[in-house]
């Protein structure tokens, strides 16, 4: 998270409300991932916000299911309603320490600015997000930056 990034307190929950969360360090920036795993997990693309993991308080944690979806990351869902809850790097590297929460889970999903869009070359051709100024990265760009993705 950039030093100049604004943060705020936000709450959210899954579809059925069995799992709820709150954090005082929710950044104002959001990103979109079009990789195959995110497309299959969400049904289209993951538009999420990376929150420092240690600032999130979970209620109903007993309803959180997890899967190690790659060698370096896990995904979680509500075991009661199936809502995708988060993506988190589990490998001990420079990308760990954050939890990517889908924007749609926030009680107030407003106030986020789209800052990056990754795996842009894997985005289905039937839609595009409006606006300019965000950083776009292809699969090759991501693999170069996050070398551990090469095993995908």
Residue that is written with structure tokens 């595009």 in the block = 128
Q: How far apart are the C-alpha atoms of 136 and 43, rounded to whole Å?
A: 21
Q: What are phi and psi of 53, to 5 degrees?
A: -55, -40
Q: Which of 38, 44, 33, 42 is nearest to 138 (CA)?
A: 33
Q: Walk along the chain (152 residues) and give the pLDDT tens digit of each residue.
A: 444 577 899 999 999 999 999 999 999 999 999 999 999 999 999 999 999 999 999 999 999 999 998 888 899 999 999 999 999 988 777 667 899 999 999 999 999 999 999 999 999 999 888 888 899 999 998 888 776 544 44
Please state whether the predicted TM-score (pTM) of the whole model is above 0.75.
yes
List of domains in the chain:
7-151 (3.90.1590.10)
Reported as type and span, the H/E element at residue 144 is helix 139-145
């Amino acid at each position: 998270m950039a030093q100049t990034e604004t943060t705020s307190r936000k709450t959210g929950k899954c579809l059925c409300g069995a799992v709820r969360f709150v954090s005082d360090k929710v950044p104002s920036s959001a990103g979109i991932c079009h990789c195959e795993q995110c497309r299959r997990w969400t049904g289209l693309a993951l538009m999420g916000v990376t929150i420092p993991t240690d600032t999130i308080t979970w209620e109903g944690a007993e309803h959180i299911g997890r899967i190690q979806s790659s060698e370096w990351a896990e995904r979680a869902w509500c075991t009661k309603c199936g809502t995708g809850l988060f993506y988190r790097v589990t490998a001990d590297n420079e990308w760990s320490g954050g939890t990517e929460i889908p924007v749609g889970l926030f009680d107030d999903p407003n106030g986020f600015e789209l800052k990056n869009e990754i795996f842009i070359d894997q985005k289905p051709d039937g839609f595009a997000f409006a606006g300019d100024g965000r950083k776009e990265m292809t699969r090759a760009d991501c693999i170069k930056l996050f070398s551990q993705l090469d095993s995908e």
